[in-house]
Amino acid sequence: MKKKLIVLVIFALTLTGCAGKTINISEVPEGEITPPVTTTPPPPENVENPNIPEIPPEDIENPGTELFIPEQPDETDNNTTIDAPPADDNSIVQTARALIGIEFTNGGSSPSEGFDNSGFIYYVLRENGYVNSPRGLQEQSAMGNKIDSITELRAGDLVFFSENSERAQFGGIYVGDGVMVSCRMEGETVNEFNIMVNYYIDNFFVGVRVL
């Protein structure tokens, strides 16, 4: 019993001595202690959103807005191509358009009294130096250089139409872009008419070039 007590006392004294002992790190053999390694991550290339690659400014066009190009208008109608000089370069066209609004008068051939169909053509030609212009519609359709296709008309040409294909029934001044100026019939005035539609295309009789 005394031996067991002595052993316990010695063990207790041993523990007490170890508790107050300071370990000197210099006594630890070199290589057994590895200092911690600290690494700093590189800064992101795009601080605003590092997950999205940076886009050069010249590659950004109207951000947030769809580029809209309005579609450009077709200058012809019914897929018919017209090659005509600008209307304002043609004195015949200018004279014809200046008379728009004057009423139809049977037998008339001047702005003061009004026009019938051939009287309108007659007045426009005489105002532009064609002093020998015929007064009747049939003679007018036979003067100058004949044009056989409506697509070959140019600004300043005369143009005539017929539903029976035997003789001209009415006509006018072609002013370009598929438009004719004419004083067609009683109850109307001198006006512009789109001749690139089926009725006029189907009933085209002849064109006359006087320039």
- Name the maximum alpha-carbon separation found in the chain: 162
Percent of the chain exceeding pLDDT 90 equals: 54
- pLDDT tens per residue, range 110-124: 999 999 999 999 999
Distance CA 185, CA 128 (A): 24
| Structural domain contains residue 20 | no
What does the pLDDT average to over 143-153? 95
> How many structural domains comprise the chain?
1
3-state secondary structure of 174: strand
Domain that residue 106 falls in: 87-209
| Structural domain contains residue 80 | no
Distance CA 124, CA 136 (A): 14
| Structural domain contains residue 127 | yes
- pLDDT tens per residue, range 41-86: 555 554 454 454 444 443 333 333 332 233 333 334 444 444 444 4
| Structural domain contains residue 67 | no
Amino acid 211: pLDDT = 77
Please say if the pLDDT value at position 141 is more than 80.
Answer: yes
3-state secondary structure of 179: strand
Amino acid 39: pLDDT = 56
| Structural domain contains residue 28 | no
- pLDDT tens per residue, range 182-200: 999 999 999 999 999 999 9
Q: Quote the strand ranges of the chain, DSSP E.
A: 109-110, 114-115, 145-147, 158-161, 170-176, 179-182, 191-194, 204-209
3-state secondary structure of 209: strand
* CATH number, position 198: 3.90.1720.10
Kindly report the average pLDDT of the chain as a whole number.
Answer: 75
